[in-house]
Structure 1
Amino acid sequence: MASIRKRGENSYLIVVSRGYDYEGNRLKSVQKTVHPPVELKPKQREKWLQEQAVLFEREVHHTPEPVNKSITLAKYIDHWLAEVAPKKLAKTTYFRDRQDVRRILPALGHYKLTDLRKEVIRNFYEEMRKAPKLTDGKPLAEKSVEGIHNTLCSILSDAVEEGYLLHNPAWKMYKPQGEKKERPVADEELVQRLIAALEGQSLKYETYFKLVLATGMRRGEACGLRWSDINWKKRSIHVQRNVVKLSHEPIFVKPPKTASGDRVVYVSKEMAKLLKSWKQQCAWDRKQNDEILQEDDYLFRQPSGDPMVPTTFTFRFKKILRQSGLPENLNVHSLRHTNASLLIAQGVDVRTVASLLGHSQASTTLDIYAHAFDKKKRDAQEKLGEVMGL
């Protein structure tokens, strides 16, 4: 099995063991240095490196390539959906990729895997930018096109690993069109207006939205909280679940998708006080039905005992924005971004912000909130200029 070691900023060493000779002496390993395309995101880079490791190992061991030159992309995708993806992907990712496959198959399904040329794939992305959404008929958003690219890359990477292809033709074929839009966040003045609007809502919605804003939790993470997750003495909350609701599927609760997603966040005295008030109301509501609130109950619970689902809060938040005359480009996830941006504005270092948000790598935080860190850098340079008189 090949191993991958990081050497420099964009340099990796692939090492393939050659086993032992007839006398039992270890043979010298073979090494190769590779440089991933710089535009790849962390997960894409990891997938690219795995591909290179598989190919280099085959080369070292002279493994024959079991390439079936007659197999079409459609036939391989059938196999991939049935045999490969369910074993590798989370349920939510599998569901999303199946939706992307519905876009990929009509345009590319008839091509043999070995006939998928870069020009064909590049033209496919251009066509996708003109393709209508199923909801309102408007052209697909650039983010949707990028998602289709990621799905196609994932499928073809698995085809490489299984020996159907010698390389992945989709790498480097996607280039974002237009300027990348900044994620909508609320500044300090808008945050105060938003908080005032939330205080006019029921205690349930006030608590939920303020909690997301105060901690930077994801929607599903807040829905997955149980009362037992709160340490009142330390004013800390253990984030360890995510609630997901897919179309025509029952609610399911799963662990965070990365180890760093399982984390502890902290709340202020005011936020803790609001949570206690909400717990008291929940206990009173349960008592009306001759029930007792349990520590394993979800903070935001349906009468059935299941957690509330993220979309319930998404719709409510949009209604609050409309009723309060607040910018409607905000959404529940904007509260998470606002939390991160305010932390950065206060000078909190990137690693701390990453750990609070549950990012597996600080580089992810830097990529997402580059604009916020750029402002901090500008401010720092201006302050230095004032000190130096330059």
Structure 2
Amino acid sequence: MASIRKRGSNSYLIVVSRGYDYEGNRLKSVQKTVKPPKEYTPKQAEKWVREQAILFEREVQHTPEPINRSITLAKYIEHWVADVGPKKLADSTFRRDEQDIRRILPALGNYKLTDLHKEVIRYFYEGMRHSPRLDGRGNLSEKSVEGLHNTLCGLLSSAVDEGYLTHNPAWRCYKPKGKKKERPVADEKTVKKLITAFEGQSMKYETYFKLVLATGLRRGEACGLKWSDINWRKRTIHVQRGVVKLSHQESITKDTKTTSGDRMVYLSKEMFQLLKAWRKECEWDRKQTADETVSEDDYLFRQANGKPMNPSTFTFRFKKILKQNGLSTDLNLHSLLPHQRQFADCPRR
């Protein structure tokens, strides 16, 4: 197995062991230095270096490349969906890739893997820019096209790993069209207006929005919180899961993506008091509707069936609040994060 060692800011040393000779003496390892293109992102560079390590190991070991020149992308995807994707990816990522595959297959499925050249792939991306969304609201966004590119890159990287290809033809094929839209940031006047608007909502929505803005939690992370995650003595919340909703599928709960995502978040006194008030309201509501009490395993923001609420429900409500108050609907919850201290310290009505 080839080993990879980083040398410098953009240089990697690939070392391939050659095993032992017939007398049991270790043969001298073979080395090669590679440098990924400077324009690659860290993730792209990592994948590119792994591919180079596989190819170099084959070269050193004189391993014949098991390339099936007749296999099509559709045939490879069939194998990938059954044997590779479910083992390699998180469940939510795999489902999202399956959605992208439904668009990739009609356009590229009949191509042999070895016939997928850059021109073919770029033509596919351009066609997707004029392809209608599933909900009929215009064409695919540039973000969706970029997502298709990432999925196709992942599929072809797996094909390289398995020996069906000698390189990934999708690398450096995608170029964003037009200028990247900058995320709008709310000014102080807008923030104050929204604070007032949140306090005019039900306590559920007020608590959710203020919690997200006071702590910087992602939408899905807030939906994934359980009462057991709150340490009332230390005034902290343990963030360890999130809720993900994919198109035309039920929401799923999953662990945080990274170890850094699993974290403790500290609460202001005001936010702490608001959560206490929300807990009391939940207790009262459960007693009235089901003659039950709130369990520590319950979600802070739950549906009647006990499942966590869909993050999109809160996004829809936020857009409604913006419209009702004559504010720009280009704003989103994260547009307000530069002002999150204001939300953390704002008193309850």
Give your verdict on TM over 0.5.
yes
Matched, 1:40 2:17: no
Whether the 8 Å CA contact 1:194–1:326 is kept in 2: the answer is no
Q: What secondary structure is seen at the aligned counterpart in 2 of 1:228?
A: helix
| Offset, 1:343 | 7.7
| Offset, 1:110 | 1.5
| Offset, 1:159 | 0.7
CA distance in 1, matches of 2:36, 2:171: 10
Deviations 1:156-180 (A, max 9, x none): 1111111111111110111111111
Matched, 1:292 2:293: yes
C-alpha spacing 1:283/1:267, structure 2 compared with 1 (3 Å): same
Whether the 8 Å CA contact 1:216–1:337 is kept in 2: the answer is no
Output the TM-score relative to the length of structure 1: 0.82
Query: RMSD between aligned alpha carbons?
Result: 1.9
Larger helix proportion, structure 1 or 2? 1
Deviations 1:77-109 (A, max 9, x none): 111112211111122212221221122222211
Partner of 1:320: 321
* Residue type of the alignment partner of 1:173: C
| Offset, 1:220 | 1.2
Whether the 8 Å CA contact 2:215–2:340 is kept in 1: the answer is no
CA distance in 2, matches of 1:40, 1:271: 42
CA distance in 2, matches of 1:105, 1:294: 46
* Residue type of the alignment partner of 2:193: R
* Residue type of the alignment partner of 1:319: K
CA distance in 2, matches of 1:239, 1:298: 12
| Offset, 1:286 | 2.0
* Residue type of the alignment partner of 2:208: Y
Whether the 8 Å CA contact 1:217–1:336 is kept in 2: the answer is no
Structure 2 unaligned blocks of 5 or more: 342-349
Q: What secondary structure is seen at the aligned counterpart in 1 of 2:111?
A: coil
CA distance in 2, matches of 1:38, 1:211: 40
| Offset, 1:338 | 3.4
Q: What secondary structure is seen at the aligned counterpart in 1 of 2:14?
A: strand
C-alpha spacing 1:30/1:192, structure 2 compared with 1 (3 Å): farther
Partner of 1:383: none
Matched, 1:336 2:334: yes
User: Identity, % of aligned pairs?
Assistant: 72
Q: What does 1:125-144 align with in structure 2 at a 5 Å threshold?
A: 125-136=125-136, 138-144=138-144
Whether the 8 Å CA contact 2:214–2:340 is kept in 1: the answer is no
Whether the 8 Å CA contact 2:230–2:237 is kept in 1: the answer is yes
CA distance in 2, matches of 1:336, 1:6: 35
CA distance in 1, matches of 2:291, 2:193: 39
Q: What secondary structure is seen at the aligned counterpart in 1 of 2:6?
A: strand
Partner of 1:16: 16
Partner of 2:173: 173
C-alpha spacing 1:203/1:10, structure 2 compared with 1 (3 Å): same
Deviations 1:114-168 (A, max 9, x none): 1111111122222222222232352321111111111111111111111111111
CA distance in 2, matches of 1:45, 1:18: 26
CA distance in 1, matches of 2:15, 2:339: 44
Whether the 8 Å CA contact 1:37–1:172 is kept in 2: the answer is no
CA distance in 1, matches of 2:42, 2:73: 26
Whether the 8 Å CA contact 1:129–1:145 is kept in 2: the answer is yes
Which moved further from structure 2: 157-166 or 244-253?
244-253
* Residue type of the alignment partner of 1:200: G
CA distance in 2, matches of 1:6, 1:337: 37
| Offset, 1:297 | 1.6
Whether the 8 Å CA contact 1:203–1:278 is kept in 2: the answer is yes
Whether the 8 Å CA contact 1:19–1:27 is kept in 2: the answer is yes
Output the TM-score relative to the length of structure 2: 0.91
Q: What secondary structure is seen at the aligned counterpart in 1 of 2:44?
A: helix
